[in-house]
């Protein structure tokens, strides 16, 4: 869908439309907002993007994104290196850090095993994970993977691979989310919460 503007504007719209959450129509709206606020929004965003492009790199240890390698979490000596939290993506690291209750380190897999999408163990950072755990400095591996089929398949595979290291592998609890009304919960969650019930 052309915007009938110059090629520079068309190109901006086409690229903005590729962002998750934006399509051709909202991409055009975003481009228009940027072009109307050329000094207050377009220029700072262009600078921020160029800066991110130049500086942000993947941490060689955990696979997260930061402007330093190793990343701030891996380099932070006050964090407990014996706790290793395995997550699917960098977004999960950000979510865990917002929670603020985890003080260990992370390992980003970069995806999940998926037979449908043809993603095998070699496509993920599972070998690196086994290496980190095998060197003896890790006391517990916490799997914070999505409660989906692919997430659980990946969790089982990792638990298998780590079995011979004798390091305990745990996973996040399943249950009623905070603020969750039983009326709106699916049967699977209620069943899991019931099985994992605890003294009140």
The site for its own copies (CB under 8 A) is made up of: 1-6, 8-9, 11-12, 15-16, 18-22, 26, 28-30, 32-36, 38, 41-46, 48-53, 55-56, 65-68, 72, 89-91, 93-94, 97-98
- Residue closer to its own copies by CB (options 86, 93) is 93
- Residue closer to its own copies by CB (options 4, 166) is 4
Distance separating alpha carbons of residues 108 and 92, to the nearest angstrom = 9
- Residue closer to its own copies by CB (options 133, 150) is 150
Q: Closest separation between CB of residue 112 and its own copies, Å?
A: 15
- Residue closer to its own copies by CB (options 98, 195) is 98
Q: Closest separation between CB of residue 24 and its own copies, Å?
A: 11
Q: Closest separation between CB of residue 115 and its own copies, Å?
A: 23
Q: Closest separation between CB of residue 160 and its own copies, Å?
A: 28
What is the per-residue DSSP string for the chain? ---SS-HHHHHHHHHHTTSTT--HHHHHHHHHHHHHTIIIIIHHHHHHHHHHHHH-EE-TTT--EESSSS-HHHH-TTSEEEEEEEESSHHHHHHHHHH----EEEEE-SS--BTTTTB-GGGTTHHHHHHHHHTS--SEEEE---SSHHHHHHHHHHHHHHGGGT--EEEPPPSPPTT--GGGS-HHHHHHHHHT----
- Residue closer to its own copies by CB (options 18, 198) is 18
Q: Closest separation between CB of residue 34 and its own copies, Å?
A: 7
């Amino acid at each position: 869908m052309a915007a009938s503007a110059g090629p520079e504007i068309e190109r901006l719209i086409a690229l903005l439309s590729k962002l998750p959450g934006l399509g051709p129509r909202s991409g055009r709206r975003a481009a228009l907002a940027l072009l109307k606020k050329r000094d207050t929004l377009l220029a700072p965003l262009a600078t921020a993007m160029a800066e991110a492009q130049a500086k942000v790199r993947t941490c060689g240890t955990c696979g997260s994104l930061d402007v330093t390698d190793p990343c701030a979490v891996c380099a932070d000596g006050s964090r407990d290196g014996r706790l290793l939290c395995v997550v699917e993506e960098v977004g999960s690291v950000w979510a865990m850090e917002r929670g603020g209750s985890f003080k260990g380190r992370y390992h980003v897999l970069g995806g999940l095993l998926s037979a449908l999408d043809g993603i095998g163990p070699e496509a993920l950072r599972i070998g690196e994970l086994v290496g980190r755990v095998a060197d003896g400095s890790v006391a517990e591996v916490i799997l914070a993977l999505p409660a989906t089929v692919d997430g659980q398949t990946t969790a089982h595979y990792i638990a298998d691979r780590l079995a011979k290291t004798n390091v305990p592998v745990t996973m996040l609890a399943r249950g009623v989310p905070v603020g969750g009304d039983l009326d709106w919960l699916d049967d699977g969650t209620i069943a899991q919460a019931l099985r994992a019930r605890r003294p009140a």
